[in-house]
């Protein structure tokens, strides 16, 4: 797939999504962001795992699972460091790209979700 065409399609599709959305390379480089991601101040050209806490990424990231399986992956988890319930998605785009986004669903979460992971 032509990288520029993938980026163009990403921007057309995800521009107005209300939460940050990233287009990632297979090597986890941030290639493009939607408007919310740009407004949030997220950079392009860096590894996605360089944003935020690396322990959190190691614990919750499902990018490799999505890329290796070729199927979308969802992970709903309580991120203790941020005090939120996060509904994350990793969507493979062909073999070389991945769309990643998530939503803070804390206000909709059931109380039992506010426990430590693995407890």
Q: The domain spanning residue 91 has which CATH number?
A: 3.30.450.20
Residues in the chain: 119
Classify residue 42: in a domain, yes or no.
yes
pLDDT confidence tier of residue 27, bands split at 50, 70 and 90: very high
pTM of the model: 0.87
Phi and psi, residue 94, nearest 5°: 65, -150
pLDDT tens-digit readout, 60-119:
899 999 999 999 999 999 888 888 999 999 999 999 999 999 999 999 987 766 665 544
Q: Rounded to an integer, what distance in angstroms lies between the CA atom of residue 99 and that of residue 30?
A: 10
pLDDT of residue 114: 66
Number of domains the chain contains: 1
Q: Rounded to an integer, what distance in angstroms lies between the CA atom of residue 28 and that of residue 63?
A: 8
| Domain assignment of residue 39, given as a range | 3-113
Which has more pLDDT, 19 or 111?
Answer: 19
Mean pLDDT throughout 16-37?
A: 97
DSSP characters over 6-17 = HHHHHHHHHTT-
Classify residue 43: in a domain, yes or no.
yes
Classify residue 118: in a domain, yes or no.
no
């Amino acid at each position: 797939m032509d990288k520029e065409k993938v980026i163009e399609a990403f921007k057309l599709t995800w521009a107005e999504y209300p939460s940050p959305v990233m287009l990632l390379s297979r090597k986890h480089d941030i290639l493009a962001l939607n408007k919310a991601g740009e407004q949030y101040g997220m950079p392009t050209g860096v590894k996605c795992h360089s944003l935020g806490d690396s322990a959190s990424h190691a614990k919750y990231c499902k990018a490799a699972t999505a890329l290796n399986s070729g199927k979308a992956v969802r992970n709903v988890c309580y991120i203790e460091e941020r005090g939120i319930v996060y509904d994350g998605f990793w969507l493979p785009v062909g073999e070389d790209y991945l769309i990643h986004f998530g939503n803070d669903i804390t206000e909709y979460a059931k109380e039992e979700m506010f426990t430590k992971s693995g407890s």
